[in-house]
Each structure stands twice: as structure tokens, then as C-alpha cells.
Structure 1
Amino acid sequence: MSDNSTSSSRSTPPAAAGVTGGYEGHSLTLKILIGFFAGLSIYNALELTALVFLTFSRYRGLYFWSLLISSLGLIPYALGFSFKFFRVLVGDAKWLSVTLLTIGWYPMITGQSLILWSRLHLIVSGEKGRKILLYTKWMIIIDAIILHIPTTVVTYGSNGDINTATFVEVYNIVEKIQMTGFFLQEVILSSIYIIETVRILRTSFQPNTRRLMHQLVCINVIIIIMDTGLLSMEYASLYLLETVTKGVCYSIKIKLEFAILSRLVKFVGGGQRGGEHVDRGQPIAFLGVKKTTQKTDSTDDNDVSDFLDMTRIATDVTHASPLPRRDLSSAYGDGLGLEFARFQHVESANWEDGGENGQGDGRSVDRKG
């Protein structure tokens, strides 16, 4: 009896608990925890999916698809580890559990990074911003190839019947490597948001800007903290607990990112077409008033809204005063002088009576004297 017990313990190393097969313990608390986390992950996934479809009027763009696919990936992931740990599917059917777990894991991990990357252009600009977007894009692509594929191979091998112990040993090494790689990837993306946000906070005095930037910093700090907790459980070889917790953590991270990045899109003031942001190549710095919808090729370097109360100014302080009408009339003739006077009249009406986005309501303001 003692020999059989020893032989069994040696054939299944402690590190393989949860890696091969399902949960074999008798802890009711752990079983409840597994079921609760699986249900919470699926609930968050369904809620996120509904929010995405209700928020976007046109279903296109990287932001939309990364949000949708990463949210839907939570469902097969949660079902996969539930079927696996509770031994719902046994025999050859066990491969369905592993496949569901793997199919959900791909979009859940890389999709979350794509969500952050798809909105990174809102806070970086210029040549530096272009390089950041390029390098981080290739970082996500390369990490997806070199970290997802080897982990998938050893995951299937660890649940097979050939050289199982060897695959489990390799799995414990590969799993730590891929967790560290994806951890560094998300820390880099979140750190870019934090660094650029702090830079904006130093240059902007608008209360709305500062409030949103503080929220953006806090959310990215929370993301790093959750990633650190998952990585700590992995290095502690708490595979089962790390697996069931990962789905909940990623669903919370996606919900936080969806909330703050959607606000960031509206706050930047770029055009909206069917819920998808139309990037105008403008940085977010010095935002505090609504931008006009008129397109321009120059950056908004003359925005003084951070230093002046724009509601108390009756003239356009960002442009030089026009020449008197009589000078134009005498120099170029009465026709040009009248045309310029009419242009000035319309411009004044738009400035005085402008509605949202700087558009006038059609009323004219007759300034005599």
C-alpha cells in the first residue's frame, strides 16, 4: 500500500496539480471558487459584448474588433477550465476542454494588448509617437508568435498519455516564460499611457483634462497590479488558482479600458463616424473647450483656453485683427472691400452665436459704429 502510494505520488508531481486532468481534491471552498470565477467571467463577457454592440453604430475598426473578440474569448476560456477541472468531459472528450481553454486564451491575452494599442495614438503624436506605435505593434505580433505557440504545444502534451511527466516539466518552465513575457508587454503599454499622461498633466490646467488623465493613470496602475498578482501566483506554482483568477482579472481589465478609452476618444474631440474615432493627427494637449469640426492641416498651437476664460472674450484672440475696410476698398476697389466686409460679418456671427463645435446658428450680428 505504501509502495503504491509512493509510486503514484512520483508519477504525478505536485507541480502538475491542475495541469494534467482536473481537480482531484476534496475542498468544497475551492470548487465553489472555481464555479464562481467561471460564472463571473462569462457574465462579464456577455455584459461587455452587449456594451460593445450598443456603443458602436458601425461595427468596424481595430478598437471595435479587439474589444469584441477579447470579450468573447472569455467565454470559451471559462467553459474550458470549468470542464477540465470538474472533469465534465473525460476520455477523448477531454481534448475539447483543452481546446476551449486554448481558443479563449489567445484573444483574451493578445486582444487585451490590442485594445490598449488601438487607442495609443490619442496620447502620442509626432515622429516619437509614430515610432512608439510601430515598435509596440511589432512587439505584440512577435510576442503572440513566440509565446502562444510553444505554450499551446506543451499544454496539449501535458494532457496526453505520452511522456506526460516530461511535458509537465517543460510546461512549468514555458508557462513562467510566457507569463513573464506578456506581463512585460502589458507593463510597457500601460507605462506609455502613464508617462504620456503625466506629461499632459504637467502642461494642462483644465480641470476636465486633469480629471480624465488622473483616471487614466489610476486604471493603468490597477492593470499593472493585477498582472503582478497573476504573475506571483504563477511563480508560486498555484496553477489552478492562477487559471481561474485570470479570466476574472482580464474581464475587469477590459471593462476598465473600455470605459476610460471611450471617454478619452470623446474628450479628444475628434470626429465620430458610427462610433469609430476618426484620427485627425492632433495631440491631446491643452484640451478644455470643444474643437471645431473644420479640418485643418496645422496643429492647434494657438489654443489659449488653458489661460483665458473663452466665454468672456468677444473677439478672436488667436488671429490678428483684420485691416480696416476702407483700406481694402481704396487699395483694391469697392468690390473686394465689400466681399471682405461680408466675410468679416459672417465670421463675427459664427463667433458670437456659435453652437456646439463652433458652428453658428445662422443668425447675423450687426455691429455698427
Structure 2
Amino acid sequence: MGYSGNPQTGLTDPGAISVAVVAFLVLSLYNAIELDVILLTVFQRRRGLYFWSFVASTNGIVPHSIGFFLKNILSSRQFGLYITFVAVGWVPMVTGQSLVLYSRLHLLFWDTFYLKLVLGLIIFNAIALHIPIIILMYGANSSPSNAFVQPYTVYEKVQVTVFFLQELIISSIYIKACFSFFDTQDSMYGDSVRKMRRHLLLVNILVVILDVPILCLEYTDVYDLQTAYKAFVYSVKLKMEFQILNKLVEMTRAREDVDPFNNSSAIRMRDESSQR
């Protein structure tokens, strides 16, 4: 997530990076505010893991972005202040997003054993990655050069990679569950189901693709741009999450209009949508 005296590669223009950083941070804050408005106006029943993980991830974007404004744009020398903002925002922003994916997975995937494994993975990674990197982040920012910098740069790459793989695993399970679920509905509902499946597949693939530049920027050591882009990507992924949920709810309602003997899968999706 960056530290004092971030190195930049020789292939980048510092001025252009600063402009891009500002743009991504501003867009991230705008998206977060918009998402909060949507949460307050769309969800009628504010409860459940999906809703609260959505709230946590959305509102984690704000302090995370403010922290990097203080560090990179306002050149704050109070490293404890901006690191605290970054850390307070980073944890719910990243792990909250994984919990959003996990809670949405319940709509189409009901193998309790694998669901527990996914939840265990999220909890383990949250402890194993968030706590050490926050400690290293405070240490690395305490001075331009100290013993914390090298471990931080290594562990930073580890956590970015692991969190990427974590979301990739959850999204892959969801995509597979989508195909399994919609295959059983295809013969009954025809084109509408095929269009729904195609839309959900494309949106989920796009969500995964958005994460790839984060890895590229991380491994090319363009830290400032990577951290700003990350906040923007997480805000975009949350906005796309509403599209996915809306499509699932739309499909459920369409099924209920056609088939009065809807099965448990429709009931599960209706229960989730009733939070809105």
C-alpha cells in the first residue's frame, strides 16, 4: 500500500502519476458516496451479512482514500495519521469485498462444507495478511530507510497476490454455480435464462479483469498509482455488485410469475432480495 519514499520505475512520469492518483482517489470517493446513497435508499431491511459487508467495504474506501490524499497529495509528514486512515479503510474495503462475494455465493451454491472452507479462507487471510502488513506499514513509514522497508515491500506483494487469488477463487465458484443452476432452468425458460447467464458471466469476468492491473502495478513498483487505482477498482466492483444482485432478483421474480411451484433456490434468492 505504499510507504515513505516509494520508488517509481524509470518508465513512469511522476507528473502523470500524480494526476492519475488524484483522479482515481476522487472517483473512489465519489463512488463511495454514491454507494452509500444507494444503500440507504434501496435496501429496505438493513440486516444480514450481505448488507453489512457491503456497508463495511463501501465505507472503507473513504478513509483509505483520505489517507493517501494526506500522504501523496498533501505531503503530510504525520505518518501515523495517514497510515491510520489507510489501515482503517483498507481492512474493511478488502475483506468486506470478499465477504460480499461470499454472502452472494449463498444465492446459487449451497454446499455447506465448501461454504465453510471459503469463510475460513477469508478469516485466515484477514488475520494473516492484515495484521502483519499494518505493523510493517507503520514501521516502514517511520523513516525513509529502516529495517521495516524490505520486509514490507515483500509482504505487500504477497498480500496483494493472495487477496487477488482469494477473490478469484470465490468468483470462480460463483461462475461455476451459475452455469450449474442456469443449466437446469434453460429448458424451462429459454432465451431469458441464457441472456441472464451470459450477463452474469461477463460481469463476473470483468470484475476479475479489473484486478489484474493492481497486480501489474504492484510488481512494477508503481505503488502510489497502484494504491489509488485499487480504491477505485473496489468502488467499481461494488457498483457492479448491484447489477449482479438486481439480475438475480429479476430472474427470481420472473420465475415466480411463471412457475407457482418455485423450488428452494428461488426462495433463497427471494430471501436475499427481501433485504432490499
Query: Is this a same-fold pair by TM over 0.5?
Result: yes
Deviations 1:67-107 (A, max 9, x none): 111111111111111110124422xx331111111111111
Higher RCO (C-alpha under 8 Å, 6+ residues apart): 2
Counterparts of 1:111-126 in structure 2 under 5 Å?
111-125=96-110
Is structure 2 residue 192 aligned with structure 1 residue 240? no
Q: What is the CA–CA distance in structure 2 between the aligned matches of 1:22 and 1:186, rounded to whole Å?
A: 27
Task: Measure how far apart 1:299 and its partner are.
Answer: 5.3
Change in CA separation of 1:123 and 1:44 when aligned onto 2, cut-off 3 Å? same
2:139 to 157, 164, 184: 157
Q: Letter of the 2:63 partner, please give it.
A: P
3-state SS of the aligned residue for 2:148? helix
TM-aligned CA deviation for residue 30 of structure 1: 2.2
Q: Greater shift after overlay, 213-222 or 245-254? A: 213-222
Count of matched residue positions in the alignment of Structure 1 and Structure 2: 259
| Residue aligning to 1:327 | none
Q: What letter is aligned with 1:36?
A: A
Distance 2:115 2:162 in 1: 19
Aligned equivalent of 1:148: 130
How far residue 192 of structure 1 moved from its aligned partner, in angstroms, is: 0.7
Matched residue type, 1:97: Y
More helix by share: 2
Separation in structure 1 between the aligned mates of residue 205 and residue 24 of structure 2, nearest angstrom: 23
Q: Name 2:180's counterpart in structure 1.
A: 199
Separation (CA, whole Å) in 1 of partners of 2:38 and 2:220: 36
CA contact (8 A) 1:193 1:216 kept: no
Matched residue type, 2:38: L
Query: 2:79, 2:154 → 1: CA distance?
Result: 23
Cα separation, partners in 2 of 1:262 and 1:26, compared to 1, 3 Å: closer
Match in the other structure for 1:133:
115
- In the TM superposition, 1:312-351 aligns within 5 A as none
Gaps of 5+ in 2: 266-276
Residue 21 of structure 1 contacts residue 85 of structure 1 at CA under 8 Å; is this kept in 2?
A: no
Aligned twin of 2:71: 84
Q: What amino acid is the match of 1:32?
A: V
Q: Is the CA contact 1:22–1:87 (under 8 Å) kept in the aligned structure 2?
A: no
The equivalent position to 1:257 in structure 2, one of 241, 251, 263, is 241
**CA displacement 1:162-195 (0-9 Å, x = unmatched):** x943211001110111111111110000001111
- Aligned letter for 2:157? K
2: CA distance, partners of 1:26 / 1:299: 55
Deviation at 1:22, TM superposition (A): 7.3
The reply on whether 1:181 has 2:168 as its aligned counterpart is no
**Structure-2 change in CA distance of 1:291 and 1:106 (3 Å):** farther
What residue is the counterpart of 1:42 in the other structure? 29
What is the match of residue 360 of structure 1? none
What secondary structure, in the 3-state scheme, does the structure 1 residue paired with 2:147 have? Answer: helix
What is the rounded CA distance, in whole Å, between the counterparts of 2:210 and 2:264 in structure 1?
38
CA distance in 1 between counterparts of 2:112 and 2:195 reads 26
**Structure 1 residue 30 and structure 2 residue 36: aligned?**
no
8 Å contact from structure 1 (residues 157, 164) kept in 2: no
After superposition, residues 215-226 of structure 1 pair within 5 angstroms as: 215-226=199-210
Cα distance between partner residues in 2 of 1:221 and 1:213: 12
Change (3 A) 1:209 1:116: same
Contact 1:179–1:231, Cα closer than 8 Å, also in 2: yes
Secondary structure of the 1:260 match is: helix
Deviation at 1:231, TM superposition (A): 1.1
Contact 1:122 1:265 in 2 (8 A): no
Farther off after superposition, 200-209 or 18-27 = 18-27
Do the aligned partners of residues 250 and 299 (structure 1) sit closer, same or farther apart at CA in structure 2, a change above 3 Å counting? closer
Structure 1 segment 4-19 matched on structure 2, within 5 A: 19=3
**Conserved in 2, the CA contact under 8 Å of 1:21 and 1:87?**
no
Indicate the residue corresponding to 1:71 in structure 2: 58
Quick one: which of 60, 82, 89 aligns to 2:47?
60
> Do structure 1's residue 210 and structure 2's residue 194 form an aligned pair?
yes
Q: Which residue identity is paired with 1:112?
A: Q
Of structures 1 and 2, the larger Rg is shown by 1
Q: Secondary structure at the match of 1:166?
A: coil
% identical equivalent positions? 37
Q: 1:214 & 1:196 partners in 2: Cα distance?
A: 13
The DSSP-based 3-state class of the residue aligned with 1:122 is: coil
